[in-house]
Amino acid sequence: MKIWIINPYGNLPSESWRPHRSYMASEAFSKKGHTVTYWISNFDHRSKFVRGSQDSCIKGVNVKILESSKYSNHISIDRIKFEINFIKKFLKIGSRESDKPDLIIIGEPSLFVSYNFVKFTKKYSIPFIIDMVDIWPELFKISLPSFFKRFDKIIFSPFYLKRARFLKRASAIISVSKAYLEIAKKSNKSNFYKILYWGVELNSFKRVNSNDLGFLKSNSELWIIYAGTLGDNYDTKTLIKLGEMVENSSKEYKLFIAGDGNLKEFVINLISEKQLKKTIYLGRLKPEELVGFYKNCDIALSTYSKDSTVSMPIKAFDYFAAGLPVLNSLGLDLGGMIEKYKIGLNYTAGDHNDLFKKLELLSNNHKMLAEMKNNNLELAKNFDEKAIYKEYVEFCEEVLFKIISVR
């Protein structure tokens, strides 16, 4: 098959982030013998840097980098312009391609890409699959003043309608969580559905054993790690408040923060301003550096705002594979897994006292901590990235075969 995988928010394996789901899917298709083109923007969503626009081929995947515009805030007019400019560029280049694909897989959310993208697929009779990696416009609720949050469904109703129309047109839906799939199924009646979590490269946790960042840990210390985006959708203020409570605790805690995002400077400045010696900002680490550092950590944090739309974050799979009990503020898929499999504790988003209370509970109960560590390691076996993306390819092949057989 000839496959196009489109995601304006995708990244490249050479960059200091975990490879994006869309890239991992591209690589899996290529390994299976399919011809794959991976379309991304030249503007990186997480770090806000502009990557080179030169097309390339990486491990058999043809990479097309489309020029788009910049934005600094995740919920902004500039971000809408970014998506509009991206799809304009795609239409221009994609229309010139003489050999159109058999199938397109597009990452959702692509709210302001969707209309012109659907027109393109209809014009050339190309089936497409939507990969639900996140949800809009639920996220927009964060931007509203407190009084108006209760009216978010009304305020953003045009966007909900826009998404529903997009979902309805898809030949199939893949989702990173049960919660997102349920949303998609309300609009899409194809009956081709698949939940495929992000997954984790389990071999990397076996292969990498060293902590090369220069930090030495005493036997009496307990290390806590937050790794991921530092942005508006995250419980960042609570994270810093936890740092203050850790600072004042008589226990030998150390809180490490690894990541990047639009609140990076906010985090760095507060650590300095409040003189938090026990809270250390590590910056943006390469995946193998992070895996090595996890080996010395005891507890991991999944801190999201109460209005977060995240259901099953990528970092959770790394935490599982590292055997790290998770202190988590999310409900939905991850919150349910934490309770079901006893792999950590849930705390109330925005409540630093509750977060610190749960930290104390774990640090005072070594037996519970050890049991949760083992439970995480066992659970991780269910999310081997190789198996997940093999299944991803097989599902798409099956969908396309059924579409062709009906025509």
Residue 123 has pLDDT above 80, yes or no: yes
| Helix, strand, coil tally for the chain in percent (to 5) | 45, 20, 35
Task: Tell me the CATH architecture of domain 202-383.
Answer: 3-Layer(aba) Sandwich (3.40)
CATH number of 2-199+384-406: 3.40.50.2000
Residue 144 in tokens: 């509203």
Instruction: Determine the distance from the C-alpha atom of residue 282 to the mean position of all C-alpha atoms in its chain, rounded to a whole number.
Output: 20
| Interval 172-204: pLDDT, tens | 999 999 999 999 999 999 989 999 999 999 988
Give tens-digit pLDDT for 137-156: 888 887 888 888 889 999 99
One-letter amino acid of 289: E
Name every residue whose Cβ is closer than 8 Å to that of residue 117 and which is 6 or more positions away in sequence: 6, 87, 90, 106, 110, 128
Instruction: For residues 290 and 296, give the distance between their C-alpha atoms in angstroms, rounded to a whole number.
Output: 11
Picking from 333, 358, 356, the residue whose alpha carbon sits closest to that of residue 346 is 358
pLDDT bin (cut points 50, 70, 90) of residue 271 is very high
Task: Pull the structure tokens for residue 295.
Answer: 């080996």
Exposed/middle/buried for residue 404 (C-beta within 10 Å: 0-12, 13-18, 19+) = exposed
Whole-number pLDDT of residue 262: 82
pLDDT digits (tens, 9 = 90+) for 256-269: 999 888 889 999 99
Tell me what the pLDDT averaged over the chain comes to: 92
Contact assessment for residue 206 and residue 362, using Cβ atoms and an 8 Å cutoff: no
- 344 in helix, strand or coil? strand
CA distance 303 to 316: 11
Domain range summary for the chain, segments of one domain joined by +: 2-199+384-406, 202-383
Domain 2-199+384-406 and domain 202-383 have a common topology: yes
The pLDDT score that the predictor gives to residue 211 is 67
Check if the beta carbon of residue 322 is closer than 8 Å to that of residue 300.
yes
pTM value is 0.87
What is the model's pLDDT at position 241?
95
Amino acid 301 reads L
For 321-344, the pLDDT digits (tens) are 999 999 999 999 999 999 999 999
- Cα 300 to chain center, whole Å? 16
